[in-house]
Amino acid sequence: MDLDALVVGAGFSGLYQLHCLRDRLGLSVQVLEAAADLGGTWYWNRYPGARCDSESHSYCYFFSKELYQEWEWSERYPGPAEILRYLHHVADRFDLKRDIRFGARVVAACYDEGENLWEVTTAAGERYRATYLVSAVGCLSSANVPAIPGLESFAGRWYHTGEWPHEGVDFRGKRVGQIGTGSTGIQAAPVIAASAKHLTVFQRTAQYSVPARNAPLDAAFKRQVRESYDAIREVTRSTPNGHPFRIDRRNVFDVGEQERRAIYEAAWEKGGLQFRASFRDIVLDKAANDTAADFIKQKIRAVVRDPKTAAVLADIDHPYAAKRPPIDTDYFETFNRDNVALVDLRAEPIERITPAGVRTRAREYPLDIVVFATGFDAMTGPLFRMNIRGRDGLALRDAWREGPKTYLGLMAPGFPNLFTVTGPGSPSVLTNMPVAIEQHVEWITDCIGWMRANGVERCEPTARAAERWGVQVEEAANATLLPLATHSWYLGANVPGKPQVFMPYAGGLARYRALCDEIAARGYDGFVMEPSRAEAARP
Ligand X SMILES: NC(=O)c1ccc[n+]([C@@H]2O[C@H](COP(=O)([O-])OP(=O)(O)OC[C@H]3O[C@@H](n4cnc5c(N)ncnc54)[C@H](OP(=O)(O)O)[C@@H]3O)[C@@H](O)[C@H]2O)c1
Residues of this chain that bind ligand X (CB under 6 A): 52-53, 140, 146, 179-185, 187, 204-205, 324, 345, 350, 373-376, 429, 487, 489, 494
| 13 touches, from ligand X, ligand FAD, none (C-beta below 5 to 8 Å by class) | ligand FAD
By CB under 6 A, residue 441 contacts ligand FAD: no
**Cα angle vertex 324, ends 261, 78, to 5°?**
90
The SS3 of residue 411 is strand
17 vs 421: CA distance, rounded Å? 9
Minimum distance, C-beta of residue 374 to ligand X, in the bound complex (Å)? 4
By CB under 6 A, residue 178 contacts ligand FAD: no
86 vs 49: CA distance, rounded Å? 19
- Residue selected from 29, 106, 379, 473 as contacting ligand FAD according to rule CB under 6 A: 106
Closest CA to 131 of 538, 447, 526: 447
| 137 touches, from ligand FAD, ligand X, none (C-beta below 5 to 8 Å by class) | ligand FAD
The residues pairing with 30 across neighbouring beta strands, listed in sequence order, are 6
Instruction: Indicate the residue among 17 and 291 with the shorter CB distance to ligand FAD.
Output: 17
By CB under 6 A, residue 138 contacts ligand FAD: yes
**Cα angle vertex 127, ends 425, 107, to 5°?**
45
Separation of first and last alpha carbons in the chain: 32
| 529 touches, from ligand FAD, ligand X, none (C-beta below 5 to 8 Å by class) | none
| 182 touches, from ligand X, ligand FAD, none (C-beta below 5 to 8 Å by class) | ligand X
Instruction: Indicate the residue among 243 and 389 with the shorter CB distance to ligand X.
Output: 243
Q: Give the relative orientation of helices 509-521 and 433-453 as an angle to the nearest 10 degrees.
A: 0
Minimum distance, C-beta of residue 435 to ligand X, in the bound complex (Å)? 15
266 vs 278: CA distance, rounded Å? 10
Instruction: Indicate the residue among 214 and 291 with the shorter CB distance to ligand X.
Output: 214
Instruction: Indicate the residue among 313 and 418 with the shorter CB distance to ligand X.
Output: 313
Look at the chain and count its residues.
539
By CB under 6 A, residue 433 contacts ligand FAD: yes
Is 244 in contact with 238 (CB distance < 8 Å)?
A: no
- Residue selected from 18, 20, 29, 41 as contacting ligand FAD according to rule CB under 6 A: 41
Per residue, what are the HEC states of 292-342?
A: HHHHHHHHHHHHCCCHHHHHHHCCCCCCCCCCCCCEECCHHHHCCCCCEEE
Task: Kindly compute the dihedral angle of the four CA atoms of residues 69, 70, 76, 80, in this order, to the nearest 10 degrees.
Answer: -130
Between strands 357-360 and 364-366, the pairing is: antiparallel
- Residue selected from 3, 5, 34, 296 as contacting ligand FAD according to rule CB under 6 A: 34
By CB under 6 A, residue 9 contacts ligand FAD: yes
Instruction: Indicate the residue among 212 and 466 with the shorter CB distance to ligand FAD.
Output: 212
**Cα angle vertex 397, ends 144, 163, to 5°?**
20
Instruction: Indicate the residue among 345 and 484 with the shorter CB distance to ligand X.
Output: 345
The residues pairing with 192 across neighbouring beta strands, listed in sequence order, are none
| 370 touches, from ligand FAD, ligand X, none (C-beta below 5 to 8 Å by class) | none
By CB under 6 A, residue 420 contacts ligand FAD: no
- Residue selected from 40, 240, 244, 413 as contacting ligand FAD according to rule CB under 6 A: 40
Instruction: Indicate the residue among 119 and 344 with the shorter CB distance to ligand X.
Output: 344
147 vs 144: CA distance, rounded Å? 9
203 vs 19: CA distance, rounded Å? 43
Instruction: Indicate the residue among 69 and 486 with the shorter CB distance to ligand X.
Output: 486
By CB under 6 A, residue 140 contacts ligand FAD: yes
Between strands 350-353 and 357-360, the pairing is: antiparallel
| 345 touches, from ligand FAD, ligand X, none (C-beta below 5 to 8 Å by class) | ligand X
Segment contacting ligand FAD by CB under 6 A, of 32-40, 227-235, 341-349, 366-374: 32-40
Instruction: Indicate the residue among 180 and 424 with the shorter CB distance to ligand X.
Output: 180
**Cα angle vertex 234, ends 228, 240, to 5°?**
135
Instruction: Indicate the residue among 96 and 316 with the shorter CB distance to ligand X.
Output: 316
Residues binding ligand FAD (CB under 6 A) = 8-14, 32-35, 40-41, 43, 45, 50, 52-54, 59, 105-106, 136-141, 184, 382, 385-386, 421-422, 432-433, 437
